[in-house]
Amino acid sequence: MPVRTLTIDGKPVSAVEGQTVLDAAQDAGITIPTLCHLDGVSDVGACRLCLVEVTGVSRLLPACVTKVTEGMEVRTESERLKRYRRMILELLFAERNHVCAVCVSNGRCELQNLAVAQGMDHVRFAYRFPPYEVDITHRMFGMDHNRCVLCSRCVRVCWFIEGAATKNVAGRGAGARIITDLSQPWGKSETCTSCGKCVQACPTGAKFHKGSTVAEMERDRSRLEFIVTAREKKQWIV
């Protein structure tokens, strides 16, 4: 496969053609913040946290879906990027009801960690306080739409790893929400295999093990990696 050479934050990096900027950066040990990206499933560029600057391109590009090109100059840190990332996070917090103090994922939440890492100390936008419900009709799992950031990771693991296609996105914009089958209560789903991959994939406290209390929700993403590696490389590495 042809090799492409580029620079990320001034550091020369070589990547294989077809790789994304995010992959190339990760291989080179450079961290770009992500939220909707999940190793093992395809990327959708939904959260915009991995935006980077590329010389010669006036708009910002999402690193997770931008392919490397020869001679590309990428910057992952700048005042402009910081401003955008913080704004994105603030908008995510304002959009639904994220109450970290009493959340099952407190201390283990990707959204919370990102906010800390990006120095988000307050939210400048008015909170919307939408009246979302909690679905705990499933025997083992719960879904709290108040804490959902619509990253669609649960949908992608359900379709592309488990293959059940139970989880979907309905509606548009801020009104979009994750549904089960044709918007049935989770416990009534005929396609859900109760595999729990969506729960492992969720970055916030939106999907949780039923009965979890504050800060109790631990996720083990290595299980997803294990399955993907086994399937793609025929290697069963525990």
The 8-class DSSP code of residue 20 comes to B
Binding mask 108-127 for other proteins (x = CB under 8 A): --------------------
Residues 6+ apart with CB under 8 A from 107: 215
Contact mark string toward other proteins, 135..174, x via CB under 8 A: -xx----x--------------------------------
CA angle 27, 47, 107 (to 5 degrees): 80
E-strand spans in the chain? 3-8, 11-16, 51-54, 61-62, 73-75, 134-135, 141-144, 167-170, 177-180, 207-209
C-beta closer to other proteins: residue 66 or 204 = 204
The answer to whether 134 touches 142, Cβ cutoff 8 Å, is: yes
CA distance 139 to 22: 37
182 lies in the site for other proteins, by CB under 8 A: no
Q: Is 187 in the site for other proteins (CB under 8 A)?
A: yes
By CB under 8 A, tell whether 217 contacts other proteins.
Answer: no
The smaller minimum CB distance to other proteins, of residues 168 and 212, is found at 212
Q: Least distance from C-beta 194 to other proteins, angstroms?
A: 15
Tell me whether residue 58 or residue 213 sits nearer to other proteins (CB atom): 213
Q: What is the phi/psi pair of residue 161, to 5°?
A: -105, -55
CB of residue 143 vs other proteins: minimum separation in angstroms? Answer: 11
Nearer to other proteins, 67 or 209 (CB): 209
CA distance 45 to 34: 10
Q: Where do contacts with other proteins occur on this chain (CB under 8 A)?
A: 101-102, 104, 133-134, 136-137, 142, 187, 210-216
